[in-house]
Amino acid sequence: MGKLVLPNLQGKQMGQVIVTLTVTNRIDQVLAQRGFISPEEVRSYILDNVLVDTIATLLCLPASIISQLGLVQGGEAQVETAAGVQQGRIFRDVELSIGERQGTFDCLELTEVPYALLGLTPMEVLGLESRP
């Protein structure tokens, strides 16, 4: 498994792109569609001011959001950060919606920052481009 690369999270850069997106527990959605839980029980969260970062590979969410969504851990990965290589946890089945576009992705847990990052892979899958 290759390393996931996270940017230096210290400073914001000129020309940065900020988006609003919705993250939802995909397993909850399926359970609601099949009548096991009510639609109101589907855990979902709107994130404003998400930094689009084409250096990051995945959708990256803070631990607090992952906990609120009740996501299931799917593995670990070596993550390269400004502080060096660290072990990071990967969580499964996040439904990501930006405008009318949506898809289901894995996400990387961010433990040291309180904000989310939208990486290159989900942007490409959803057909979005980053233009500073």
CA distance 79 to 65: 19
Q: What is the dihedral of CA 14, 119, 73, 67, to 10 degrees?
A: 40
Residue 13: pLDDT band (50, 70, 90) is: low
Q: Taken in order 105, 31, 49, 98, is the CA torsion positive or negative?
A: positive
Residue 8 scores a pLDDT above 50 = no
CA distances from 50 to 19, 23, 102, 117 (A): 5, 12, 16, 6
pTM: 0.82
Residue pair 103/114 in contact (Cβ under 8 Å)? The answer is no
Q: Kindly state the average pLDDT of the residues 71-95.
A: 85
